[in-house]
Structure 1
Amino acid sequence: MSLATHKINERLQRDRGEERECRLVWTINMEEMLIYFVRGNRMLWDPTHPSFAKLAMKKRRVEDIAALLKREVGPEEAFAVTAENVWKKFRSMRLFFLREVKKVHDSRSNIGDDGYTSTWAHYNRMRFLLQSLRPKENQDSDHPRHISVLGADLTVSSSNSDIRTSAPTANDSSSRCEASTTRQPNGVNVGLAKYETPSASQPRVTGSGGIKSGSRINDIFSSIQNEVRKSGPMQPKMAQQGKQPQGREALLKSYNKRLKDDVKSILDNFMEIVKLGVVEDESQVNRMTQVEEIHFQMQVRSSNMVRAAESLMKLVADVKQYLILNDFPSVNEAITQNSKIFKSKSQEADQKLMALRDDMASDLYELEEEFYSSVYKEK
């Protein structure tokens, strides 16, 4: 095979990979697993970790995470689950989380919208990143970790232009079929290097007045730490639904949807746990890697089942509360029945009083007749 033919085949395979990359759709479960795996690998996001500067080790960890996530998609989408796409997805989620943190802080500092609360599904799950955002005394404010937190009118260099600015949702993909630029053969190393080492081409981050706001940084992170301490444990997402006042039909539909989703989640996760019991004889992955993969997947599936069970218990409590407080037909029926009973008793008492009055009147009449016709009257 000639060199030209080899290059043409590589180009065709690369184009097919880009076409398949457009079919990748990130689901909620995939995003949760990605957050869980990255949180367990502290070297990927914590600058204080001893292995934070080891790019080769971090690249292998990202590739392992991509291999774990391939089991969550079909065979057609598995080609798009690469280490580069996985790292891009996490970077976009991290950037959106930092912007949400800034909005919450600005609303509490009377700078942005009053009473702003993040409605992003993964806001509480991404709080572990706050541990790596505390600035050091000898650290300059133009470090990439401080972008999206310091000011409203900040600029990002062209090297970070590939980061998504939209909120990642269940139907979003890390690759939206954009106009593809030249593919980098070592994309994971480049992405990690952008996150780790500040370059001279990156602009210096300043506040809205153009002056470095070191004191404001400390205020921001102190308020963030207070928020983390006050927020307490993370509540399940499904348990927070149904608390807002809404119509009866909408409430019943939401109850029905929660029930179906929770039961489906328990069933699907249980079936996946059962499927994990099948041992693959021939595989390109190392046996120990397979064991770790199965272990992590069982933990994620089990946590999903526990979360769904807690949501079902909360749903039962909500239904009981609704029936006790808001079941107006039964309340009206009980009131009508009691009013009929008391009305019949009132009529019965009136009848007895009328009969007693008639008896007393007749007795008094007879006594009067006897008195006027008696010998005592004649005397």
Structure 2
Amino acid sequence: MYKNKKVTSYDVAREAGVSQSAVSRVFRPGLSVSKKTRDKVMATANKMGYRPNAIARMLITKQSGMVAVIVSSRANENYPEVLSQVSKQLAARNKRVLLFTLDDAAGVDDLFEQIWTFQVDGVIALAAHFESQRLAQFEQHKVPVVLYNRNVPDASTNTVCCNHEQGIKQLLAELKLNNPQSYLVLSGPVDSDVANERREIALDLLKKSGEKNVQVLYGDYTYQSGRDCIAQWLKKNPAPDAVVCSNDTMAIGVIDEIRENHNIHIPNDMSVVGFDGIASSFWQSYQITTIKQPVEQLVKAAVDMLIEHIENADSPPEARVLTGTLIKGNSVKRS
């Protein structure tokens, strides 16, 4: 009977002996329906080869079921884990990820146009920098956005962030146990909100503690930039007692460069700390002293926050700060 035509929810309802609204409730997560009705509808739907039409559902619910996830092309190495968690947790809320990558500021206009065209329900920005006027566009289009692991002080925006200040305080406290006389801060790129925040926190804390021999170099979060920065420094300067890296990947680059090309022992001659707690930072050959970010909890908070603002458009902006865990590795000398 249904071999040559597309099966509809009305066909399933008629075959199963239930109302069409009962079929709709079965295929819309969160709606109430008895187990008996659910089993009957699913058995009939499977027999008939029926699956709900996502476009029709969008017209009824006024939601696309899609969430745009924006990732910078210079994202940190823990972002595959973050993306996996985001996809998993959004799927549990009956949402699907529409992934966008952003190479530089020149591509923002095109990216935003695509987001409006796909009529996404919301946006999670993982590693992308947006000025306040850009963030205002989300509000104008009534698209809720959550910034993952970053703060925008001059904008009223939903944010979920690791406590960078507490983490860097803990890292500096570890370094100070050995009373270093000179520091080199390896920052990430200047167009990264996270890199700027971590750098400024470190410099401010070192200044307040009376440290006078503090220098700054800028990398781009990559392994190679860690190697290049420390190699560049050592061409004209003595080795610093302590190197504060903006992330673990740069810290690994520093350690490899020192080991391969310089007669400097880590940690006896120089201590190195990172931030993020990526998997490779725990490898036997590195064991970096770092702050491990609570990725699963950060992602859950971001997804929960976004869903709340999708379902309640009038909810005020939120900011949630979660604490990372200090990992005491072997890259810091202890007296």
TM-score, normalised by the number of residues in structure 1: 0.22
TM-score, normalised by the number of residues in structure 2: 0.24
Which protein has the bigger helix share?
Answer: 1
Which protein has the bigger strand share?
Answer: 2
